[in-house]
Amino acid sequence: MSTDPERQHREHPPSLGRQVQANLLSVISLVVALAALGYNTYRNELTEHNRNVRSAGFIILQELSQLQLIADHAYYDRNVARGNPIDGWGRVLYMQDMSQLVSPEVVALTENLIEVWGNNWSALEEQEVANERITAAIVALRHRVRVTITSLD
């Protein structure tokens, strides 16, 4: 029987179990590193998603306040310059684009606002009920956006 370790290794290579045992620290380090990398990537993605939701939500809130001013100027002031319904269309369509980044509930309420605006903008100067319907849709969307933003991690 030969005592040469090199020759013994060639004739009887160590089993997988022995190799793992001999390199256990390296294997554990690799597993920990991969787990940390995976978790870090997950957190970065979640943070970016939350940042996008917040940003789009704040834009929608700003646009809602401007749309409310347009509706109020059109009805209460009968001011065509400040209460121009064409400006309102631009704002609701912009909110429609931004709502896609927030949540399905915000998308649905934005679609509702577009429908309400479309059905009532032409009557804003004469009918208080048109202003009330638009205001109700604005309030509902504003509430949902605030709830969504505050529920983020």
Give the domain CATH number at 20.
1.20.120
| Structural domains of the chain, count | 1
Q: Give Cα separations from 56 to 1, 46, 92, 100 (angstroms).
A: 77, 15, 13, 9
CA-angle at 113, arms to 153 and 102, nearest 5°: 20
Q: Considering only CA atoms, which of 60, 84, 77 is closest in space to residue 138?
A: 60
| Contact call for residues 70 and 89 (beta carbons, < 8 A) | no
C-alpha span between 135 and 5 (Å, rounded): 86
Q: Is the dihedral of CA 78, 81, 86, 90 positive or negative?
A: negative
pLDDT of residue 7: 66
pLDDT of residue 53: 96
Which helix (H) or strand (E) element contains residue 48? helix 24-72
Expressed as residue numbers, the domain containing 19 is 5-150
C-alpha span between 116 and 145 (Å, rounded): 18
pLDDT of residue 8: 61
pLDDT of residue 130: 95
- Going residue by residue through the chain, which has 153 residues, state the pLDDT in tens, using 9 for 90 and above: 556 666 666 666 778 788 877 888 888 899 999 999 999 888 888 899 999 999 999 999 999 999 999 999 999 988 888 889 899 999 999 999 999 999 999 999 999 999 999 999 999 989 999 999 999 999 999 999 999 999 997
pLDDT of residue 129: 96
| Three-class DSSP labels, 105-133 | HHHHHHHHHHHHHHHHHHHCCCCHHHHHH
CA distance from start to end of the chain = 67
pTM above 0.85, yes or no: no
